[in-house]
Amino acid sequence: MSVPEAGPVPEVFDPRRYAAGVPYDDYRVLRDHHPVAWQEEPEVLGWPAGPGFWAVTRHADVVRVLKDATTYSSYLGATQIRDPDPEDLPFIRRMMLNQDPPQHGRLRRLVSRAFTPGRVDRFAALARKRARTLLAKALDQARAGDGTVDLVTAVTDEYALLNLADLLGVPERDRGLLLAWTQRVIGYQDPDEAGPPVLDEAGKPVNPRSPAMLRDMFAYARQLAGFKRRHPADDIMTTLANDAELGRAELEMFFFLLTVAGNDTVRSAAPGGLLALAEHPEAYELLRAGKVELASAVEELLRWHPPVLTFRRTAARDTELAGRRIRAGDKVVVFHASANRDERAFPDPDRLDLGRSPNPHVSFGDGPHVCLGAHFARLQLRILHEEVLRVLPGWQLAGPAGRLVSNFINGVKSLPVHAV
């Protein structure tokens, strides 16, 4: 491990901090004075202490790390800050997210056959109908009560979940399973989402991505694939289940990745964007008046509230980044939310500018692992915001938003609003 930088360095690891909001002030200090800063990794929420990691906070450095898979590996230690159990690492490495080129490229090409823009675009009408239905029910709920409604529980959670289920081809009776699995895997740091951690015989928390914790999801993936072979349809699981190049374990891992990442990207970005508009009514009015394009607004809302806060890489060799010596085996963690507020890449970055152009945000990553479902996410967000503009000419926060306890996902658990 390299010697940490002298002087006060803000601590941005503790997942509990993020329940009060993303620590943008600390990110600024890091970018200005400690752009590649050593962070301790203490025991938190019952999870054992780790060896520490380098926090990368400037936009250019984040992009450099994400693009250079030869130096900064997704495979060596996977992509979460916490080290997985060494016994689980071979299993976790089966997932495309935790592979490096060229193996990563092979799997990405296979799933890209199913995740085509044309197939995604065919879901636009269905997504719009769903958004209208959910928003109408939310307004009815508000009017029947005290005029308030939680847009997360009434709209955005269901919207993201059901759209993904349709694209995957998950039968309606099984769709609640997707949310339960997402909460278990993504919200494992937050007791409200995942409940108390599952402990092993030694009293240590069991990683939610371990084979034992994912057994039920993989069994379901096999059953669904068998069903799709007998009853093919125009959905992703039908394509994957009938792909002769895709092994059983690879298919199971794809189902895991698409279920969790595909759901939680929009599940986090949608309420985050609505929260930003509620906090900036002048920007919402510009959007309603047609003075800014919705496409650019969606990009700016993604910059403002990236669904993913961090991703981890592991140095494959000794290297240097922003003047810091990084040793082979060191953990290197990129901070997307910090990169999106970097003054070096974005003029006046702390201003919500719905017409911002260019807007090189890294909310969907960069390099070989750039989000495969970005087109699907953008489509859903654009349609949702179009429908919100149509049915909610005025609305305001009815209380503080509830935020996820997580240093990984920028989650919004509740968004109470007055529907006007």
* Among candidate residues 62, 74, 26, 54, the one with its CA nearest the CA of residue 362: 62
Q: Give the separation between CA 331 and CA 53, rounded to whole angstroms.
A: 5
Q: Name the more confident of 283 and 264.
A: 283
Looking at residue 419, its pLDDT comes to: 81
For a pLDDT cut of 90, what percent of the chain falls above it?
70
Per-residue model confidence as pLDDT tens digits over 308-345:
999 999 999 999 999 999 999 999 999 999 999 999 99
Is 114 exposed, middle or buried, given 0-12, 13-18 or 19+ CB atoms closer than 10 A?
buried
At residue 271 the predicted structure's pLDDT band, cuts being 50, 70 and 90, is very high
What's the whole-number mean pLDDT along residues 179-186? 79
Looking at residue 3, its pLDDT comes to: 41
What's the whole-number mean pLDDT along residues 41-67? 93
* Cβ-Cβ contacts under 8 Å for 139 (sequence gap 6 or more): 149, 391, 392, 419
Mean pLDDT over the full length of the chain: 91
Tell me how far the alpha carbon of residue 257 is from its chain's centroid. 11
At residue 1 the predicted structure's pLDDT band, cuts being 50, 70 and 90, is very low
Which CATH number is 15-419's, of 1.10.630.10, 3.90.950.10, 3.40.50.10090, 1.10.150.300?
1.10.630.10
Looking at residue 195, its pLDDT comes to: 62
**Is residue 176 over pLDDT 60?**
yes
* Among candidate residues 244, 245, 246, 224, the one with its CA nearest the CA of residue 235: 224
Looking at residue 182, its pLDDT comes to: 80
Q: Give the separation between CA 213 and CA 231, rounded to whole angstroms.
A: 29
**Is residue 406 over pLDDT 50?**
yes
Tokens encoding 292: 């800014």
Type and span of the H or E element at 334: strand 331-335
Looking at residue 11, its pLDDT comes to: 97
Q: Give the separation between CA 314 and CA 334, rounded to whole angstroms.
A: 11
Q: Name the more confident of 319 and 122.
A: 319
* Cβ-Cβ contacts under 8 Å for 166 (sequence gap 6 or more): 123, 126, 235
Per-residue model confidence as pLDDT tens digits over 215-239:
888 899 999 999 999 999 989 999 9
Type and span of the H or E element at 237: helix 236-241
The angle that helices 157-168 and 124-144 make with each other, rounded to 10 degrees, is 150
Q: Is 39 in a helix, a strand, or coil?
A: strand
Looking at residue 44, its pLDDT comes to: 84
For a pLDDT cut of 70, what percent of the chain falls above it?
94
Looking at residue 199, its pLDDT comes to: 67
* Cβ-Cβ contacts under 8 Å for 32 (sequence gap 6 or more): none
Whole-angstrom CA distances from 370 to 107, 234, 366 are: 14, 25, 5
Q: Give the separation between CA 96 and CA 108, rounded to whole angstroms.
A: 7
**DSSP secondary structure letter of residue 12:** -
Structural domain boundaries in the chain: 15-419
At residue 121 the predicted structure's pLDDT band, cuts being 50, 70 and 90, is confident
What's the whole-number mean pLDDT along residues 248-266? 86
